[in-house]
């Protein structure tokens, strides 16, 4: 059995290598660069139909010393469930669960294979150049399993720069100190870049405690953290090839604060994460397309500790570590068969293994998994105004074939008027259970089926001409998704909880996006706004097998909105971000009028000044978060900071 | 250009105005006889609560502590004991005991700085013992002054507490297999006895014998997995007089209770929904020579979590915790196991405290 697996992977790797060599040997001309987009219908065929939300670089620049969770929470329809600054942040996308949002960094999946999810508080923006979001069905273009959607973060080489660099320091409320720097350079063939960051915070913010009967202001306890990381990358560009290698190391030590009602003896709770990620990418361009070979690894080491201080010293409740190792090998071929016909073939082999040990009980388990997947997509356009695709994907997990995953899509341009685009996607997608769901002891269930989603969406968008003085773009997406075999941990007959495929969830909703950009003399203004409506309910089956819609899933708001406006005027910059989170249920009770958290608004404001010298520039920026000093809870009885400030100094060359 | 600027301005003003603050409304209660129901809530969520069932009017009031005081009980409401007009509510994962007035439900005080309290037993006006899940001692508190007075080192974690005159018996459940005897006059452990692992609950019968229910752990527990057992102990010399072993190793009994006449034992067998003939509420006379083979009240797909026997009329109170995410349902049965009524309470209803 095992030999068989290795044989498979070996053969697979061999085929990929040969295919790439073959393409490499073709006499082709220079790199195909996509010209700046003007009218949307002139997008290359491969970029049509599929929904792709690209995060504007203005925003990425504005969030340089923040985490991906902050940016996505404030500027996308995605709902970020956060326990506060420095603490766990997960994402629910289109009403799905946290493990249904997958994240790829430079082509490799960085979801923790044990938990199935990503902690977005551990992804610093300084390590990210590009962010692309593929919601729902569109994610199947890259890989399976992202029932909610996929987030691709990547590095982007600057082949036009000889030497560039940046160094910054930020000091903020609660003794939060951040330092970050990058240096890069090379020539038009070689480019290398190094980025580092370090952040510490006491995070001992003051909050009004209305949870213990004392009705007073308290400082948050046991919430300090320290994070540091390094990202090194190098890129080599030849006439028809691009070779990239990147290495990411991240270290995070954080204390976990108690909830607001805690009045017990001191408690020590902390988590230490160590992440290593490497991605090597080789893209070959040829006349009619390109091929992309990607290999990578992702290691995570997590230590969790909980102890109670007692009259006779520390009493240890938990001391456990989880280690996971994932290896990836991917191959992608994109090929224009004819002018109107485009083909994309994706194949991947992933190996994940984990080791969990409970040091206190001296218990451990060591699960493994191999996944082999392949998909083929054909895009066709008819008279340049109507395009279609058809995609088919199949996977083999540990020598067992999974069901077939198909997707289809269509795009119509200029239907009623120019630059009005309708896109629709329909797919059937499967998400494998996480290693913990299957092998946790006790309660893991090796017989779990993959979660299945049937999703459909329609996107309508309109924009005026790209080079208009006042450019605007509006879009609305409607989606519906039925997820079956949703995994839930349930109390079992053995007095511990077990993972079971029991829930069926129907999620549907609407996402709207508005973008306005204008340049008026020296004044540059950008405005973004998002609104999302998410109805995500489990389907209940009564004793007569009659199905009915149950409750909104907990911690997913029906309504979420945000807006951002940025003004730039001769070196001065002013921005304002607004975030609205609607009512969220905190327990799964029908018509529950008691177990919920009320809606809240958050306002952040930033002001900066840039000075430009010959080859140097420097910035100073003041940020005020939670401008109106709002008391709120994102999660029940978890304290959140009131108004807070940060001052950042930056030097660029 | 002018229009967008106006738009931003209006937008900004609208959201500046939309800032608000809500103070929770406070309710007035005046409740006589009834039953307090401790709803554990979900661990680390801080959503535990207290319900009150008025046995005269048959009216259930939920979240009475929050409604009367405007703030929550805390995280994991484990158990409750009444002493005079005071109700002592043990909040396990908040490390505290909340004291309320049992008629008005108004908050009186809190006894904080405990590691992980589980159950409380009142010894006198000035002394009560509190068992603890995350330390090797029990805490001594003063139930009149609401302060911690000291502790008694046990050497193991502690769970159930039972009183017989000057002697207090404490079980060690988590990583434990012993029953300890404490002389409350000197606050010292004077004797102990080993039983089947994880003794979770205890009662005294009318003959002053101590009954101990051990769940035996479960498959995969590093501490061990044994067949569950019910043991009868002579508290005088701490000798084990009888052991009733559960034949099916998967069964995991909890919540040993006794009837008002202190001659009939009740416990929850299970379980957690498995259709075993003895899964549910089991009844056994203290004179029986074997464990009951069938349940008095079948679990029938429900998830029995809490059990209480009314001390004066013998009515049986059972909670169905469902999946611990939804609200629990409490079923009331007569002592002859006839269903009287049922009502919805809060998440994870686990403990009944009778106010007479």
A282-305 average pLDDT score? 95
DSSP state of A40: G
Q: What angle do CA B53, B57, B62 make, to 5 degrees?
A: 30
What is the average pLDDT across A555-583?
95
Choosing among A210, A256, A263, which should be mutated to test the B contact, i.e. which has the most B CBs within 10 A? A263
Question: What is the reported pTM?
Answer: 0.89
Ramachandran angles phi, psi of A432, nearest 5°: -70, 145
Question: What is the band of A494 on the pLDDT scale with cuts at 50, 70, 90?
Answer: low
ipTM (interface predicted TM): 0.89
Read off the pLDDT of residues B3-30 as tens digits, 9 standing for 90 and up. Answer: 445 545 554 544 444 444 445 668 999 9
Cα distance from A82 to chain B (closest Cα, Å)? 14
Q: DSSP for A79-135?
A: EEEE-STTS-EEEE-TT--GGGEEEEETTEE-S-TTTS---GGG-BGGG-SEEEEEE
**B155 touching A (Cβ < 8 Å):** no
Question: What is the distance between the alpha carbons of residues A196 and B76, in angstroms, rounded to a whole number?
Answer: 43
**Given CA atoms B155, B157, B163, B169 in this order, what sign does their dihedral have?**
negative
Q: What pLDDT score does B338 carry?
A: 96
Contact of B223 with chain A, judged by CB distance below 8 Å, is answered with yes
Q: B91 to chain A: which residues are within 8 Å by CB? A: 261
CA distance B11 to chain A (A): 9
Give the tens place of pLDDT for each residue, A87-106: 999 999 999 999 999 999 99
**B155-187 residues labelled b (16+ CB within 10 A) or e (exposed):** ebbbbbbbeeeebbbbbbbbbbbbbbbbebeeb
- The minimum CA-CA distance between A322 and chain B, rounded to whole Å, is 18
| A112 pLDDT more than 60 | yes
pLDDT at A35: 38
Chain B hits for A315, CB-CB cut-off 8 Å, are: 115, 134-136
Average pLDDT over residues A188-213: 95
Instruction: Provide φ and ψ at A599, rounded to 5°.
Output: -65, 160
Q: Tell me, what's the pLDDT at A567? A: 96
Q: Which of B8, B95, B271 shows the shortest C-beta gap to A262?
A: B95
What pLDDT shows up at residue B15?
A: 47
User: What burial class does residue A367 get, using C-beta atoms within 10 Å of its C-beta: 0-12 exposed, 13-18 middle, 19+ buried?
Assistant: buried
What letter would DSSP give residue A462?
Answer: E
Quote the Cα angle for A253-A258-A262, to 5°.
Answer: 160
Cβ(B94)–Cβ(B65) below 8 Å: no
Question: Looking at chain B from residue 43 to 62, which residues have their Cβ under 8 Å from any Cβ of chain A?
Answer: 44-47, 62
Query: In whole numbers, what is the pLDDT of chain A averaged over residues?
Result: 89
Does the beta-carbon distance from A259 to B75 stay under 8 Å?
Answer: yes
- Predicted pLDDT of residue B216: 92
Separation of alpha carbons B267 and B258, rounded Å:
9
Span A306-317, pLDDT tens digits: 999 999 999 999
Domains of chain A by start residue, with CATH: 2-652 (2.40.170.20)
What mean pLDDT comes out for the span A337-342?
Answer: 90
Task: Tell me what pLDDT residue A58 has.
Answer: 82
pLDDT of A21 > 70? The answer is no
* Torsion of Cα atoms, B50 then B53 then B59 then B65, to 10°: -20
Question: For residue A220, what are its two tokens?
Answer: 């948050």
Higher local confidence (pLDDT), B1 or A231: A231
Q: What share of chain B is helix, strand, coil (3-state, %, to 5)?
A: 5, 45, 45
A302: nearest Cα among A248, A258, A253, A342: A253
CA distances, A460 to each of A45, A149, A414 (Å): 18, 18, 11
The Cα of A216 is separated from the nearest Cα of chain B by a number of Å equal to 12
pLDDT at A13 over 60: no
Residue B252 at interface with chain A, using a CB cutoff of 8 Å: yes
The dihedral over CA atoms of A63, A69, A70, A73, expressed in degrees to the nearest 10, equals: 120
pLDDT at A544: 67
Residue A546 — pLDDT band, cuts 50, 70, 90?
Answer: confident
Q: Which of B74, B49, B80, B56 is nearest to B354 (CA)?
A: B80
Mind listing the pLDDT tens digit for each residue in A604-643? Answer: 999 999 999 988 999 999 999 999 999 999 999 999 999 9
pLDDT-based confidence at residue A280 (cuts at 50, 70, 90): very high
Taking the C-alpha atoms of residue A478 and residue B225, their distance in angstroms, rounded to an integer, is 53
Is the pLDDT at A41 greater than 70? The verdict is no
Three-class secondary structure assignment of A204-222: CCEEEECCCCCCEEEECCC
Q: Which of B155, B113, B118 minimizes the C-alpha distance to B136?
A: B155
**CA-based torsion, B185, B188, B191, B197: positive or negative:** positive
For residue B94, give the nearest of A262, A441, A470 by CB distance: A262
Report residues of chain B scoring pLDDT below 70. 1-25, 271-275
What does DSSP say about strands A225-238 and A241-255: parallel, antiparallel, or unpaired?
A: antiparallel
Do residues A257 and A223 lie in contact, with contact meaning Cβ atoms separated by under 8 Å? yes
Mean pLDDT of A155-183: 95
Please identify among residues 297-316 of chain B the ones whose CB lies closer than 8 Å to any CB of chain A.
303
């Amino acid at each position: 059995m095992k030999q068989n697996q290795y044989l498979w992977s070996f053969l697979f790797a061999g085929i990929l290598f040969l295919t790439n060599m073959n393409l490499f040997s073709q006499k082709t001309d220079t790199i195909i660069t996509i010209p700046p987009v003007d009218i949307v219908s002139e997008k290359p065929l491969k970029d049509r139909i599929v929904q792709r939300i690209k995060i504007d670089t203005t925003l990425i620049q504005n969030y340089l010393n923040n985490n991906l969770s902050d940016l996505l929470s404030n500027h996308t329809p995605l709902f970020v469930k956060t326990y506060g600054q420095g603490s766990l942040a997960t994402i629910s996308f289109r009403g799905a669960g946290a493990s249904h949002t997958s994240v790829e960094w430079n082509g490799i999946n960085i979801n923790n294979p044990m938990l199935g999810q990503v902690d977005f508080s551990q992804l610093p923006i300084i390590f990210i150049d590009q962010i692309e979001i593929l919601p729902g069905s569109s994610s199947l273009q890259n890989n399976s399993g992202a029932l909610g959607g996929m987030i691709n973060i990547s590095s982007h080489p600057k082949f036009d720069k000889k030497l560039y660099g940046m160094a910054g320091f930020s000091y903020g409320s609660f003794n939060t100190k951040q330092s970050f720097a990058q240096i890069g350079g090379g020539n038009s063939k070689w480019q290398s870049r190094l980025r580092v960051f370090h952040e510490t915070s006491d995070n001992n913010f003051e909050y009004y405690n209305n949870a213990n009967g004392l009705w007073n202001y308290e400082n948050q306890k046991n919430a300090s953290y320290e994070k540091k990381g390094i990202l090194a990358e190098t890129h080599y560009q030849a006439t028809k090839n691009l070779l990239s290698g990147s290495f990411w190391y991240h270290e995070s030590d954080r204390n976990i604060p108690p909830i607001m009602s805690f009045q017990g003896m001191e408690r020590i709770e902390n988590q230490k994460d160590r992440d290593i990620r490497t991605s090597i990418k080789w893209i070959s361009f040829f006349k009619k397309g390109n091929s992309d070979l990607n290999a990578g690894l992702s290691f995570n080491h997590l230590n969790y500790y909980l102890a109670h201080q007692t009259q006779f010293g520390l009493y240890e409740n938990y001391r456990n570590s989880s280690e996971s190792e994932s290896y990836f090998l991917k191959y992608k071929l994109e090929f224009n068969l004819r002018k109107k016909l485009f083909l994309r073939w994706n194949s991947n082999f992933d190996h994940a293994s984990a080791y969990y040990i409970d040091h206190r009980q001296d218990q451990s388990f060591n699960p493994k998994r191999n996944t082999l997947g392949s998909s083929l997509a054909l895009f066709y356009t008819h008279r340049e105004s109507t395009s279609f695709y058809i995609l088919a994907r199949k996977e083999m997990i540990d020598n067992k074939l999974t069901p077939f995953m198909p997707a289809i899509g269509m795009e119509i341009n200029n239907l009623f008027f120019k630059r009005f685009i309708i896109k629709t996607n329909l797919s059937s997608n499967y998400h494998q259970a996480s290693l913990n769901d299957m092998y946790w002891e006790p309660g893991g269930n090796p017989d779990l089926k993959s979660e299945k989603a049937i999703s459909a969406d329609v996107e309508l968008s309109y924009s005026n001409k790209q080079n208009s003085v006042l450019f605007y773009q509006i879009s609305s997406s409607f989606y519906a998704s039925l997820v079956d075999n949703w995994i839930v941990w349930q109390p079992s007959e053995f007095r511990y909880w077990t993972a079971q495929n029991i829930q069926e969830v129907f999620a549907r909703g609407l996402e709207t996006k508005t973008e306005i950009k204008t340049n008026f003399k020296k004044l540059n203004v950008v405005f973004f706004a998002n609104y999302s409506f998410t109805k995500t309910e489990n389907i209940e089956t009564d004793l007569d097998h009659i199905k009915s819609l149950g409750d909104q899933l907990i911690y997913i708001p029906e309504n979420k909105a945000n807006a951002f406006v940025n003004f730039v005027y001769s070196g001065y910059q002013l921005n304002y971000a607004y975030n609205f989170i609607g009512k969220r249920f905190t327990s799964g009770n029908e018509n529950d009028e008691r177990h919920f958290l009320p809606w809240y608004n958050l306002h952040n404001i930033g002001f900066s000044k840039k000075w430009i010298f010959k080859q140097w520039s420097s910035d100073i920026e003041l940020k005020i978060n939670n401008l109106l000093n709002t008391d709120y809870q994102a999660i029940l009885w978890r304290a959140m900071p009131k108004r807070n400030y940060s001052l950042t100094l930056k030097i660029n060359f | 250009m002018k229009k967008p600027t106006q738009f931003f301005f209006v937008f900004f003003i609208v959201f500046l105005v939309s800032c608000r603050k809500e103070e929770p409304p406070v309710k007035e209660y005046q409740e006589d006889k009834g039953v307090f129901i401790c709803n554990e809530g979900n661990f680390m969520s801080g959503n535990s609560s207290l319900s009150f069932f008025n046995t005269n009017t048959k009216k259930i009031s939920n979240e009475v502590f929050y409604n009367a005081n405007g703030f929550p009980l805390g995280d994991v409401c484990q158990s409750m004991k009444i002493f005079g007009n005071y109700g002592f509510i043990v909040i396990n994962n908040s490390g505290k005991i909340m004291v309320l007035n049992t008629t008005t439900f108004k908050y009186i005080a809190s006894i904080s700085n405990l590691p992980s309290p589980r159950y409380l037993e009142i010894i006198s006006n000035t002394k009560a013992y509190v068992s603890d899940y995350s330390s090797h001692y029990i805490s001594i508190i003063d139930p009149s002054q609401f302060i911690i007075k000291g502790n008694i080192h046990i050497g193991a974690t502690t769970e159930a507490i039972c009183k017989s005159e000057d002697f207090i018996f404490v079980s060690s459940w988590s990583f434990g297999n012993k029953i300890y005897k404490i002389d409350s006059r000197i606050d010292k452990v004077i004797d102990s006895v080993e039983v089947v692992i994880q003794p979770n609950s205890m009662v005294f019968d009318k003959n002053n014998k101590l009954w101990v229910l051990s769940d035996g752990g479960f498959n995969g527990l590093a501490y061990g997995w044994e067949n569950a057992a019910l043991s009868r102990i002579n508290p005088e010399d701490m000798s084990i007089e009888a052991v009733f072993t559960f034949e099916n190793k998967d069964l995991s009994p909890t919540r040993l209770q006794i009837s008002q006449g202190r001659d009939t034992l009740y416990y929850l067998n299970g379980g957690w929904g498995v259709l075993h003939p003895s899964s549910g509420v089991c009844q056994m006379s203290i004179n029986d020579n074997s464990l009951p083979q069938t349940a008095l009240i079948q679990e029938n797909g429900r998830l029995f979590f809490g059990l209480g026997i009314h001390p004066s009329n013998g009515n049986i109170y059972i909670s169905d915790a469902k999946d611990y995410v939804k609200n629990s349902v409490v079923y009331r049965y007569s002592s002859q196991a006839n269903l009287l009524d049922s009502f919805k309470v809060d998440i994870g209803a686990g403990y009944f405290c009778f106010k007479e």
